[in-house]
Amino acid sequence: MGGPNLEVFKFGMYIMFPIAVMYYFGTNLDNRFSVPDFWPRPEETHKIPFERDEIRAELARMERERLRRRAKRLEQEGGAGEQQQ
């Protein structure tokens, strides 16, 4: 059959093949499996407020935005109601 040299070769392949595959797929992952511009940059994301003053300011901003949208919606509904009469 094969002899001891073949058995040593087979054992070496059994050990080296998974190591080689892990090395190939484990190195340079940023360039190989990356999608450019997938994650937003820090300046494009919303900063979560943690301080009490920042939370109050953010709540006030959200309230102003809600009231602005409500006024705009009521203005559009009022204008549409007048046109139907």
**End-to-end alpha carbon distance in the chain:** 100
Q: Residue 84: helix, strand or coil by DSSP?
A: helix
CB–CB of 49/55 below 8 Å? yes
2 versus 49: the higher-pLDDT residue is: 49
Domain encompassing residue 21: 1-32
Q: Would 20 be classed as within a structural domain?
A: yes
Would 24 be classed as within a structural domain? yes
Domain count, the chain: 1
The tens digit of pLDDT for each residue in 42-81 reads: 777 888 889 999 999 999 999 999 999 999 999 999 876 5
pLDDT mean across residues, the chain: 86
Q: Do 49 and 57 form a contact (C-beta atoms < 8 A)?
A: yes
Instruction: Report whether pLDDT(85) > 60.
Output: no
37 lies in a domain? no
Q: Is 7 within the bounds of a domain? A: yes
